[in-house]
Amino acid sequence: AGLEAVRRLEPIESTLEDWRAGGGNGQDVRQREAQLRMIRELHGDALLSLAVNANVRLRNPARALEYIERAYALTQNPFMRALRACYRARSGKTDEARAVLRAVVPAPSLYYNLACTHALLGEKELALDFLERDFRENYPTPGSLARQRDWARKDPDLASIAGEPRFARLLGGAG
């Protein structure tokens, strides 16, 4: 479904870019810009979905990174920047991951992906710090926190910190 969405969105995006380049009155240009932003967002979301699938189901980090890089080219927001660092780290491109991380300003919505990225880079204390902040700041109900802890328990990106006593404490274990 994701590949089909990308195939359908790319020509629409190209057409809108051509129309935008054609000029016109102010209202037409603004409308085309809004349509182009919407299509790029949908295109980026489809690529992100493909990246997650390539990573989780196909276990193909190189393909996942390819999709993330393409999505980032369309949507250069903090969330995508954090994912880009994570996917680069997962692909073994540690220097590139660290370079991207330098441009990431930590925010609550990014904490979990930053924890994963630092864990993948072997930076255990930073990974645990971000995971702790994620649990503390992002899950207002016991149920939502329990679901996130369960996800973290199974997340292969966090495997390098899974044996740490602090990780066990964060997940509700004895440690």
**What does the pLDDT read at residue 135?**
97
CA distance 138 to 94: 27
- Residue 173 has a pLDDT of 64
The per-residue pLDDT for range 48-104, each reduced to its tens digit, is: 999 988 987 888 989 999 999 999 999 889 999 999 999 999 999 999 999 999 999
What would the two tokens of residue 105 be? 């300003």
With a CB cutoff of 8 Å and minimum separation 6, the contacts of 74 are 40, 41, 43, 44, 47
Q: Note whether 20 and 32 are within 8 A (CB).
A: yes
What pTM, to 2 d.p., does this model score?
0.83
pLDDT score, position 175: 44
Q: What pLDDT was estimated at residue 56? A: 78
Type of residue found at 23: G
Span 139-158, pLDDT tens digits:
999 999 999 999 999 998 99
pLDDT (tens digit per residue) in 11-63: 888 888 777 777 667 787 788 888 888 988 899 999 999 998 898 788 898 99
Burial of 52 (0-12, 13-18, 19+ CB in 10 A): middle
112-115: long-range contacts, CB 8 A cutoff, minimum separation 24: 112/138, 112/148, 112/152, 113/79, 113/82, 113/83, 113/85, 113/86, 114/82, 114/85, 115/158
Q: Kindly report, residue by residue over 110-149, the tens digit of the pLDDT.
A: 999 999 999 999 999 999 999 999 999 999 999 999 999 9
**Model pLDDT, residue 1:** 64
